[in-house]
Chains A and B, each alone.
With several copies, the nearest count.
Chain A
Amino acid sequence: MSDSYTTDELMIINAARQLGALAADGKPVCFVGIGLPSTAANLARRLYNPPPVLVYESGCIGSKPTRLPLSIGDGELGETSDSVVSVPEIFAYWLQAGRVDIGFLGGAQLDRYGNINSTVIGDYNKPATRLPGAGGAPEIAASAGAVMIIMRQSKRAFVERCDFRSSVGFGDGPGHRERLGLRGGGPQWVITDLGVMAPSPDTCELQMVALHPGVTREQAVAATGWPLTFADAVPTTEVLTETELDALRQLQAA
């Protein structure tokens, strides 16, 4: 075990573990964005067998990069892919058709029903902060078999209601995805620096289902903008191993 690590490492390794478990469960196909999701997915490729299959919105299918890409269109991604297709094709034939098991998202705001804002803080027409925008997220959130979210937990980011709904989680609550006709399963795991959240089976509201070693319930409540609830059992996530940390650090140094 190791007790010297960053919260980024904590989130990445916990996300990679989940991806490894999903790949072992026959759900390997992962649609990833750049940043923590890409790092976690690439780490899982090194740690687990069967490895996740990486799909990038730039059209790369089955990428096996030897170093971490800085951008979604990094040359390394295309050159190590099983197949490179056009952007219209990756969204239509691959994501929309339901071939992606896990969509991997982040955002500026996340609300209690797992909806994501990556568009604006404040009013749309007079934004306090203009964010980059939705990008690929709305259709990933709609069509991926399940969605994993990685975000640092804070009252500012984990809000009662998003200023703008860029991507739909469970919308306004139970049954809303079905009414909207969304085919994917919605957010199933939110990996934060404090622990892991998952939707309550009854209310669809995100609740803490695990805490990282040393994190208290009070810290989680204080970092959440809605009245946070906890699952019946809230285990502590496994301590990061030297193997995991070494693999991650080697990957980041490559």
Chain B
Amino acid sequence: MSRVCSLTEAVAEMVHDGDTVALEGFTHLIPHAAGHEVIRQGRRDLHLVRMTPDMVYDQLIGAGCATRLTFSWGGNPGVGSLQRFRDAVENGWPHALQIEEHSHAGMATRYAAGAAGLPFGVLRGYVGTDLPQHTESITPIECPFTGEALTAVTALNPDVSIIHAQRGDRHGNVQMWGLLGVQKEAVLSARRSIVTVEEIVDEFQPVPGAVVLPSWVVGAVCEVPGGAHPSFAQDYSVRDNAFYRAWDAISKDRTAFTEWINRHVLGTSNFAEYRTSVGLEVGASV
């Protein structure tokens, strides 16, 4: 059964130096607040995992939390490059970042295999590309019935998965809807899990398209309103596209980035303070 507690407690208890950590979200419901808390608590040597590392991974990488990244597409969607990610890979700043690179289909297959308790998953993928040369978790497999050549990938089983959802209840159940990406699989494949939610309610009302994760497959549920910002939570907030665009300039420069992290993340004690710090309380976007 999950605990309903503060994000500070949940990260302190569940995210350890050296862990494999997946903060998942496919544009929608990205757990930014949780990523900031990981930076704030100074975690180091993390193996970060995500299909689509974007701004919050740029921040984690730039802040020096990660030494390894497993991913399939790392960019600022609709804007351009992830500058901190590039600086780490191209120049080793703040230190070298080892990468394990997949395709989306491969990552999705890996999470699904992890969630299903299988050691590997099978797909029609990667064949003829240069990815298998560089990524050990991809290998050929033959259909035992037809002899057809397919591809196997190892299951993903993060030490901790962290997602953001619309609602939790007092028993620690989680309800989420809209575009849900691989979030369910991320939680079910992980050894531990943290879910930040927009609100904690007494009882869930049914919502079309909603998925409910029962309390007994979730580690901790933490109420963090707006905790996906600048990503969004359908029916609670809209994507702050201006913030994503502004990130490009901040992240391009090491000094500007460091000042931003020091001031807004390390210089605040939680997400509510962060929001005030970046001016969200007064409607500005950065």
Q: What is A's interface to B at a CB cutoff of 8 Å?
A: 28-29, 34-35, 53, 57-62, 70-75, 77-79, 82-84, 86-88, 91-93, 95-99, 119, 124, 127-139, 142-143, 164-168, 171, 176-177, 180-183
Q: Do residues B124 and A88 form an inter-chain contact, with CB atoms below 8 A?
A: no
In the complex, the answer to whether B179 meets A73 with C-beta atoms within 8 Å is: yes
Q: Is there an interface contact between A86 and B89, defined as CB atoms closer than 8 Å?
A: no
Neighbouring A residues of B115 by C-beta, 8 Å: 92-93, 97
- Which chain B residues lie closer than 8 Å to A88 at the CB level? 108-109, 111-112, 182, 185
Residues on B with beta carbons closer than 8 Å to the beta carbon of A97: 115-117, 188
Map CB proximity to A onto B106-129 as digits: 1 under 8 Å, 0 otherwise: 001101100111100001111111
Q: Is B217 in the interface zone, CB < 8 Å from A?
A: yes
Could you tell me the distance between the alpha carbons of A78 and B244 in the complex, rounded to whole angstroms? 20
Residue of A nearest to B91 (CB): A130
Name B residues whose Cβ lies closer than 8 Å to a Cβ of A.
Answer: 26-28, 51-52, 71-75, 77-78, 81-82, 85-86, 89-90, 101-105, 108-109, 111-112, 115-118, 123-131, 134, 148-149, 173, 178-182, 184-185, 188, 209, 211-214, 216-217, 232, 234, 238-239, 241, 244
Q: What separation, in Å, do the CA atoms of A75 and B85 have in the docked complex?
A: 26
Q: Most chain-B Cβ atoms within 10 A of its Cβ — which of A35, A77, A91, A181?
A: A91
| Complex-state Cα separation, A164 to B135, whole angstroms | 14
Nearest neighbor of A61 in chain B, beta-carbon distance: B214
Given contacts A35-B78, A75-B239, A91-B104, contact A84 B179 (CB under 8 A): yes
Cβ of B27 to closest chain A Cβ, rounded Å: 2
**Does the CB pair B116–A168 fall under 8 Å?**
no
A60 smallest CB distance to B (angstroms): 7
- Expressed in whole angstroms, the minimum distance between the Cβ of B157 and any Cβ of chain A is 10
Question: What residues of chain A lie closer than 8 Å to B85, measured between beta carbons?
Answer: 130
The chain A residue sitting closest to B77, CB to CB, is A71
Contact B73 A135 (CB under 8 A): yes
CA A77 to CA B234, docked complex, whole Å: 11
Known A78-B179, A124-B134, A142-B125: A99·B217 in contact at CB below 8 Å = yes
- One of B71, B86, B211 near A83 (C-beta < 8 A): B211
B209 and A96: CB pair below 8 A? no
A62 contact set on B, CB distance < 8 A: 214
A60 contacts B179, C-beta separation under 8 Å? yes
Shortest Cβ distance from A142 into chain B, in angstroms?
A: 6
Question: Do A87 and B182 touch across chains, with their CB atoms under 8 A apart?
Answer: yes
- In-complex Cβ contact of A87 among B108, B212, B213, B232 (8 A): B108
* Inter-chain contact A133/B72, CB cutoff 8 Å: yes
Q: Which residues of B contact A124 (CB under 8 A)?
A: 130, 134
For A28, the closest partner residue in chain B by CB is B216
Are A75 and B232 touching (Cβ within 8 A)? yes
With both chains docked as a complex, state the minimum distance between the C-beta of B251 and any C-beta of chain A, in angstroms: 14
B77 partner, pick from A34, A82, A119, A168, beta carbons under 8 A: A34
Q: Are A91 and B105 in contact (CB under 8 A)?
A: yes
Q: Which of A92, A96, A171 contacts B128 (CB 8 A)?
A: A171
A96 and B130 form a contact (CB under 8 A): no
Q: B128–A58 contact, CB under 8 A?
A: no
In whole angstroms, what is the CA distance A164 to B101 when docked?
13
Query: Which residue from A86, A134, A139 sits with its C-beta under 8 Å from B123?
Result: A139
What B residues does A77 contact at CB under 8 A? 179
B125: A residues at CB distance < 8 A:
96, 138-139, 142
Contact of B178 among A84, A127, A128, A136 (CB under 8 A): A84
Residues of A within 8 A of B182 (CB): 86-88
Beta-carbon nearest neighbor of A92 in chain B: B116
A82, B173: Cβ atoms under 8 Å?
yes
- Partner among A93, A132, A138, A176 whose Cβ is within 8 Å of the Cβ of B82: A132
Kindly list chain B residues whose C-beta atoms are within 8 Å of the C-beta of A136. Answer: 72-73, 103-105
State the Cβ distance, B165 to closest chain A Cβ, in Å: 13
- Shortest distance between the CB of A42 and any CB in chain B (Å): 14
Residues of B within 8 A of A95 (CB): 105
**Are the CB atoms of B104 and A59 closer together than 8 Å?**
no
- From B73, B75, B81, name the one whose CB has the most chain A CB atoms within 10 angstroms: B73
Across the interface, which residues of B come within 8 angstroms of A79, CB to CB?
A: 178, 234
Which 3 residue pairs of A and B lie closest in terms of their CB atoms, listed nearest first?
Answer: A73-B27, A135-B73, A132-B75
> Do B131 and A86 touch across chains, with their CB atoms under 8 A apart?
no
